[in-house]
A = this chain, B = another copy of it.
Amino acid sequence: MELEEAYSLLSDLRKTHKTIIIVADCTVEYKGRAESYLPPGERVILIKRDRTVLVHQDSGSMPVNYMKENSDWRPVLEKDKLELRINNISYKESMLIVMNKVFSVSSFSLSDGQKIQLVGTERDMADMIYANPDIVEKGLRAVATEEQTKYGFVDVLCYDRQNNLVVIECKRYTADLKAVSQLRRYVERIKKSKGIENVRGILCAPKITSNAKEMLFDFGFSFKAVKPPAYMSREEHRQRSLADFEHSKG
């Protein structure tokens, strides 16, 4: 594809809200929170309706370079080069894509107002434990989820049978040192703010690393193996989706 043709196409697309897909041999320079340079190679460039710009190599999940939403971009035709100059004033970032060959430019007016429905998150775990704290320890009484404190929010707050406060921190993945530190921060904060000493900490996760376990026990906390809640069936997904649709009509 001729660079002039690509330039003309992109110029026309600049002020639209179309999603643009470019395939090109290019270099990429970035300057902003850090600075980077990507030597020549063939990549896919995606410009979205919200003016997010992504550069994808032919492997890996992550874009190799990107500019966040509301980035200003314009094509510039140089000798034997077609440049995309991209700027984001609010993020104080800029990107320069220099294309020496353009394989394809295509554009689409995409219509999509949907949001993903995700189940099996840490929040779902906390809700499950709040509804049924016995799975953590017999006789627990749950009093709050997502309790806000200045030092972060506690997943589940309970009282045990001796009326000690119990702070529960949930992790949907293997609990690590960070999780133990987090639990400790909440426990200390609550001790201080409420002026009480008997505050227990329980870490709930499917697994825990050996070092984290050691540190946890050093602080007198405990671990309870809990898996994230069972996933919805496909049928339940569909019903939930339908319910959302019905709701949005109202």
Contact = CB atoms under 8 A, between A and B. Distances in A.
A34 B121 contact: yes
A29 interface: yes
A12 interface: no
A21 B57 CA distance: 13
Contacts of A121: 34
Question: In the complex, which of the residues A41, A58, A64, A117 has the most CB atoms of chain B within 10 Å of its own CB atom?
Answer: A58
Contacts of A58: 19, 48-50, 110, 112
Interface in A142-170: 150-152
Given A49-B59, A52-B61, A117 B36 contact: yes
A69 B238 CA distance: 28
Contact of A150 (B54, B103, B211): B211
Contact of A120 (B34, B39, B118): B34
- The dominant DSSP class at the A interface is mixed
Q: Give the size category of A's interface with B.
A: 35 or more
A114 interface: yes
Interface in A33-90: 33-44, 46, 48-50, 52, 54, 56-61, 63-66, 68-69
| Top-3 shortest CB links A-B | A41-B112, A34-B120, A50-B59
Given A33-B172, A38-B114, A178-B182, 16 more contacts: A21-B21, A21-B23, A23-B110, A29-B234, A31-B231, A35-B231, A36-B118, A37-B241, A38-B115, A41-B112, A41-B114, A44-B108, A46-B56, A50-B60, A103-B108, A151-B215
21 contacts: A21-B23, A33-B120, A34-B228, A35-B231, A38-B114, A41-B110, A41-B111, A42-B112, A46-B56, A50-B60, A57-B112, A61-B68, A61-B69, A103-B108, A104-B108, A106-B106, A150-B211, A151-B177, A151-B211, A177-B185, A181-B185
